[in-house]
Amino acid sequence: MTLENLSCQKSFGGWHKRYRHRSDVLSCDMTFAVYLPPQAEQGARLPVLYWLSGLTCTDENFMQKAGAHKLAAELGLIIVAPDTSPRGTEVPGDPDGAWDFGLGAGFYLNATQEPWAKHYRMHDYVVQELPALIEANFPVSDKRGISGHSMGGHGALVCALRNPGRYQSLSAFAPITNPLNCPWGEKAFSRYLGEDRSRWREWDTCALLSEASEKLPMLVDQGDRDDFLTSQLKPEALQAAALAAEHPLTLRLQPGYDHSYYFIASFIDDHLRHHALALK
């Protein structure tokens, strides 16, 4: 698969690079970013952390705003940030131009309903196609972690729970934990997956926890001044589901923090260390 380099910047002794490639899974061109720490030029094969961003975001938000490069360079951790949905003139978006569905809002699932099913298969892209591409072209080991924010936090939790053994570390910032029972999830799932709510359980963290065969420890941070806390994110549902399943969860409610990248940047070091400890 051909990679087209779009940009390249030196950062904390390593390199931040953006690439475009043709995705067979999504039937469109896709862009992703990768941070390669200095150790990548020294012949080492390094663990990789996949970061999944939230609604309306692209690969650029995390790489530019999270402040993750400095510690990733110290830890020898490669970071890969894909886009949040398929893109292109051939990809259908929300018919009303809404920001919480369609372009920028792939929800990291595999759509089954038309006209979405052809392109909106972000789960298979994140779990299978993109890692195969990364592992064929960059000096990565077989150690993988996954994290994300909001819709991307939902994606990270679901990807790990649906694919035991695929990842060795897991965390999330302000994830949508129970999309079966929140407006964002109900809108997206009804369109991508159809009206049969029993099919939605396959993409809901709280539902998946009850059946999880792997007890991969989860680190989750949530700001208590997040505007979406009560209506969309529902960390209390995640806590209850983890407790019922006896699944290891560290859920930290951070006083005064909202949903923004100021919040992510404040605690990203804790998450990078969480991943590095497990991946090394």
* Catalytic residue annotation: 150, 226, 259
Contact 231, 183 (CB under 8 A): yes
Q: Where are the beta strands (DSSP E) in 24-148?
A: 28-36, 46-52, 78-82, 140-148
What are the residues facing 249 on neighbouring strands? 218
Separation between Cα atoms, residue 43 and residue 186, nearest integer Å: 47
Contact 257, 266 (CB under 8 A): yes
Give the Cα-Cα-Cα angle 133, 136, 150 (nearest 5 degrees): 35
- CB atoms near residue 38 (< 10 Å): 14
Nearest 10 degrees: CA dihedral of 147, 98, 179, 274?
10
Q: CB neighbours of 117 closer than 8 A, spacing ≥ 6?
A: 111
Maximum C-alpha span of the chain: 52
Contact 216, 242 (CB under 8 A): no
